[in-house]
Structure formats: structure tokens, C-alpha cells
Amino acid sequence: MQAWVDPDKCQGHTLCAMRAPAIFELSDIDGHATALAGDLPASEHDAVREAAGSCPEQAITLS
Amino acid sequence: MTDMTDDIRKQKRFQFTRHSPTFRLEFESTAAEMQSRCPVAWSDTYGGHWVAASHEAIFDIARESEVLSNDHDVTNTKKGYHGISIPPAQSQYRGGFLEMDPPEQREYRQTLNTYLSPAAVNRWKPFVEALTRSCLDEVIESGRLDFVDDLANIVPAVLTLAMLGLPLKDWDIYCEPAHASVYTPPESPDFPRVMQGAMLMNQRLGEAVVEIREKPRPGMINALVNAEIVGATPPDHELIGVLTLLIGGGFDTTTALTAHSLEWLSEHPAERARLSAERDTLLDGATEEFLRFYTPAQGDGRTFSADCELAGTQFKEGERLWLSWAMANRDPSVFPNPNEIDFDRHNNRHTSFGLGIHRCIGSNMARMAFKTMLTQVLDRMPDFVTDPTGAAHYETVGVINGMQHLPATFTPGPRLGASFAETLELLQRACDEQRLAEPVTVRTASAKIG
Ligand code: SF4
């Protein structure tokens, strides 16, 4: 599983980092998120799905 | 899009009266009815406007900033739009960047982001912990308090002033007007007095702007007076609007969330005990759920800046729209059992901080202040019981779903530290000596208190 945050959609709600702190990093400047690049560890998949489902802007794409 | 007559465009109608006391009482059935029957409807009320009620419609419309305007044209020199209030608010000030469009709006936010990002807000945690501790110390030996007057009004107010760079001891000058101007309707006999208080507050803010320009001290006001917005230094009256927005947003909403959540926890002692015991895993989810359920800022107005078709409805330039965050948050197609509070709720993509480019800039601060107040109450007065006869909800929730009073009793306990007055002085010293209100780009270290 891979995750991608669309920077044009993300508004910095921070729900993703609340749900999967190991995967989503928030900018110190404006709180907008970036996802860890590459394949995500299986142990994080549930949390990442929850993060994507909790994003108010639906800015996170999973593949 | 083929042009329709107004009768056809506005075929779905709903008499939407969110400023009436009955709206609050019938909110759940109104939301359900509008969602199943509309979910976008024309209402003749408040000068005529559209209402979006379903999560899907609100999600689809709110992010279309190309065709939506937040502008409040107070000088009537542009298109005459009325900002976010429906009906229009009589004001000489724009409501800060919430009543602006990009690029102006974006540049104001960029000026303030480094004060309000998660990293910036985290640095204030020890400050808020000490402040909350002192508020509870004032009442802990007595076994009774008013959660609004003695806690939830004070903490967000003092924190907001600290971040702005204003003297902490002035918190009560701003506190009453900031809340009362929200819950006092224009027809109330108290309205003139409240407006006077609000004018005094604006005057104070104007003086602070002049003072900080001459004698800089860290904080958001300093950032604003030095900002260049679309190539120019913003005039003072514009900055007063921005400060009023930050105070309005910082004060009343967090108070509303805290009071409602505590009232619910008092009525659900088993859930309260579970939240307290399992806070490591439940606190985040519970906070988001309280945000969803109570939606402190109930909605926002917009004006269409172009003809467009969205959510199956044709809108015309100049028409107004109410985005009901509160109703979106109770949409059963996104939130199963929407009228129940469930700490374990999944995929809670609530809209309580808005959607799109105007997302509440203070959301991180609100969450931090709320969680600090809540956990300290759970620790120090775990058996609190709120008094339903003394609990005062805002009679109308047209703007904020707030509470004016929430008295409670609990088993008394010991004080843990200095009084509120002494703590306020200690915190002021910390602000001055450690320059706590610098942006996170200048100061990364957390506050050190005591
Ligand atoms: S939850 Fe969504 S909008 Fe918020 S920071 Fe994460 S990706 Fe961005």
C-alpha cells in the first residue's frame, strides 16, 4: 500500500497525522501533510485507511 | 447548462429559520428532513438564500472557491457582497480574512500560519496546563464551579491574548463582549450595552495595533502590522477586523465545545469513566466526535461569484448560500447513527472547522486547549455533576452553538499551585522573558512555566 496527499486539496486539518502519526508528517509552517514515500508497512495499513477516511478534504489517495 | 426559470431553479423550497429558538430544538428533525427532501433548497428567509444541508452537497460546493466569494464589501466599492453573515451584518469592518477572497485571504493566512500550526501550538501546552490548573485551583476546595465562567471562558481567552501579544490581565475586557456579541440578538434590550462593549474592544485593539507598531513585541499583532498584503501595508481598520475574527474564533467556539462536552459527560458517567481510563486511545476520537456532534460554528454564508451548477442545482451570480456544517455533520450517509456520540466512530470526516481554503486557522489551538481542560477536569473532579436547571444554552444557534453557564458540583479536593492572579503574572513573565509569542520559525522550544 502507498499513500499520497494531494497538496492542492489538503488544508491542514491534521486528522491524518492523528490517526497514523508514523505515516503522515505535518509541516511546521502550516500543518499541511505529506505521506511517507514508498510501500507502507502492513502494520500501518489499518491506521492509514482510517486516516484517509477521516480526511475532511478527501485529500489522501491510497494505492 | 440550459437556463431554467427561477421557479424551476428554486423548486425545492424550505422555510429555513436558523435564528429562531425553535430551530435549535428541532435541529435533528430539520436536518433529516432537508437531507432527504432537498438537500439543497431555496429559503425566502433573511432576504432569500440557498441552504445546503447534506454532507455531499456541502463537500461539493464549499471547496469551489472559483465560484464562491466570502468578500464583505463594507465600502460598497466592489460587488456589494455581504461576507459570511446571513442576513447581512451591519458592520463597518470586514470580518478579517474570513470575509475576504484570495489572494488577500491567502496572504493573511500565510502571515499567521507560523503562529497557529500544530508545531507552533504545541509550544504553548505548558502555558495552557498551568493556566487550567490555576482556574481549577480557584474552585477546587469549594466543590462547585461554573464550567463556563470559571474555566471554559478563561482559558481560550488568555491563550488567545498571549498569542496575539496582548497583556494577559486584559482578558476580561475582551471576554464578555466576545461572547455576548454572539448570543445577544439585535432585538434584546441588552443589545446596546453589548455593542458598546464590542466598540470598546475594537478601540482597544486599535490602540494595541498603534502601540505594537511603535514598540514591537512578539505575537500575531506584530506579524500583522509588518505584513505586506497584496503589495501594501494593510490599513488599521482592516487589521481590527482580522483581530476581531481571531478573538471571536479563539474565544467563543472553544468555550462552546468544552461546555457542551462536559455537560454530556456528566450525563453519561460510564462513558466519562471510560474516556478517563482509556484516554491514551480515546481522547483524540472523543474530541473529534464532540466537535462533530456539537459543531460550535454552525455554518458559514457565501455569495456565488459566477453562475454555476453544483450539487444538481443552478446558482446565479450574487445569490447567497448557507453552508450548514452542523447539518453536514449529522448526515447519516457519512455518519451512521449521526445523532449519537460514539468515541469509536470511524472515518469521522466532520466539517466543524469548515472545508476548503477557509478551514479554521485556529483548529490546532482549539483542540489543544479543549483536551487540556477536559483531562484536568477528569483528573481533579472526576465525579462532577452539572446542574440542568442552571445550564444555559444559547437560545438561538444561528451563529454559534454555545453555552452561557454550566454550574456543577463535585467532591472537593486540594489546591495544587498558585492562585489564578499569581499564575497570570507568572505566565505574563514567561511570555515576556521567553518571547513565547514568536512564530515557530523563530522560536521552536516549548514554554517553560515556573
Ligand atoms: S487530514 Fe487531510 S486535509 Fe488534513 S492534513 Fe491530513 S491530508 Fe491534509
Closest-lying ligand 1 atom to the alpha carbon of residue A24: 6
Q: What is the pLDDT of residue B250?
A: 84
C-beta atoms of B120 and A56 within 8 A: no
CB contact under 8 A, B113 and A15: no
Minimal Cβ distance to A54: which of B348, B351, B441? B348
B359 touches chain A (CB under 8 A): yes
The side-by-side arrangement of strands in the sheet containing B40-43 is: B40-43, B49-52, B320-323, B300-304, B68-69
Distance B380 CA to ligand 1 centre (A): 34
Distance of CA B399 to the CA centre of its chain: 10
A-contacting residues of B 68-127, CB under 8 Å?
110, 113-114, 117-120
Q: What residue ranges in B358-448 does DSSP mark as E strands?
A: 385-386, 392-393, 403-405, 407-409
CATH class, domain A3-62, is alpha beta
Q: Which helix (H) or strand (E) holds B49?
A: strand B49-52
Q: Using CB atoms, pick whichever of A29, A50, A56 lies closest to residue B355.
A: A56
Nearest to A30 among B113, B284, B350 (CB): B113
Asked if A47 is an interface residue toward chain B (Cβ–Cβ < 8 A), one would say no
- Nearest-neighbour CA in chain B from A28: distance (Å): 5
H helices, E strands: number in chain B: 17, 12
The minimal CB distance from B346 to the residues A27, A30, A53 is found for A53
Are B255 and B402 in contact by the 8 Å Cβ rule? The answer is: yes
Q: Under a CB-based contact definition with an 8 Å cutoff, are residues B381 and B401 in contact?
A: no
Distance of CA B255 to the CA centre of its chain: 9
Contact between chains at B359 and A13 (C-beta distance less than 8 A)? yes
Residues with CB under 6 A from ligand 1: A 5, 10-16, 24, 32-33, 55, 57, 59-60
What is the C-alpha separation between B155 and B379, in angstroms, rounded? 17
Atom index in ligand 1 nearest the CA of residue A13 equals 4
Best mutation site among A6, A8, A10 for ligand 1 pocket (most ligand atoms within 8 Å of CB): A10
Q: Is A34 on the interface with B (CB under 8 A)?
A: no
| Cα gap B422→B424, rounded to integer Å | 5
Does B336 touch chain A if contact means CB atoms closer than 8 Å? no
**pLDDT confidence of residue B216:** 96
How large is the average pLDDT for residues A13-41?
96
CA–CA separation, B312 vs B414, rounded Å? 60
B370 touches A: beta carbon within 8 Å: no
Instruction: Measure B194 CA to nearest chain A CA, in Å.
Output: 34
Q: Measured in angstroms, how far is the CA atom of residue B275 from the centroid of ligand 1?
A: 25
Between β-strands B68-69 and B49-52, what pairing exists: parallel, antiparallel or unpaired? unpaired
Beta-bridge mates of residue B163: none
Residue B3 is placed in which grid cell?
437556463
Closest CA to B331 of B23, B18, B57: B57
Rounded Cα–Cα distance for residues B21 and B25 (Å) = 7
Euclidean distance between the first and the last CA atom of chain B, given in angstroms as a whole number: 65
pLDDT, position B4: 77
Q: What is the dihedral of CA B166, B172, B174, B178, to 10 degrees?
A: 140
Say which residues have a Cβ less than 8 Å from residue B409's Cβ, sequence separation at least 6. B143, B144, B384, B385, B387
CB contact under 8 A, B359 and A29: no
SS3 content of chain A, % helix, strand, coil (to 5): 30, 20, 50
pLDDT attached to residue B319: 97
Give the strand pairing for B385-386 and B320-323: unpaired
Smallest Cβ–Cβ distance between A54 and the set B118, B347, B444 belongs to B347
CB of A8 within 8 Å of a chain B CB? The answer is no
Bridge partners of residue B145, in order along the sequence:
B408
Cis peptide before B87 (omega within 30 of 0): yes
B335 in contact with A, Cβ within 8 Å? no
Q: Where are the domains of chain A?
A: 3-62
CA angle B183-B79-B107, nearest 5°?
75
Is the CB of A29 less than 8 angstroms away from the CB of B113?
yes
Tell me which amino acid residue B372 is. T
Whether B440 sits inside 8 A of A29 (CB atoms) is yes
Residues in chain B predicted with pLDDT less than 70, given as ranges, are 1-3
Helix (H, G, I), strand (E, B) or coil at A2: coil
**Domains of chain B, earliest start first:** 6-434 (1.10.630.10)
B118 and A18 within 8 Å at the Cβ level: the answer is no
Residue B348 in contact with partner chain A when CB distance is under 8 A = yes
What's the average model confidence in pLDDT over A2-16? 97
ipTM of the shown complex: 0.95
C-alpha of residue B250 to centroid of ligand 1, in Å = 21
What is the per-residue DSSP string for B277-320? HTHHHHHHHHHHHHHHHH-SB--EEEEESS-EEETTEEE-TT-E
Q: How far is the CA of B359 from the centre of ligand 1 (A)?
A: 11
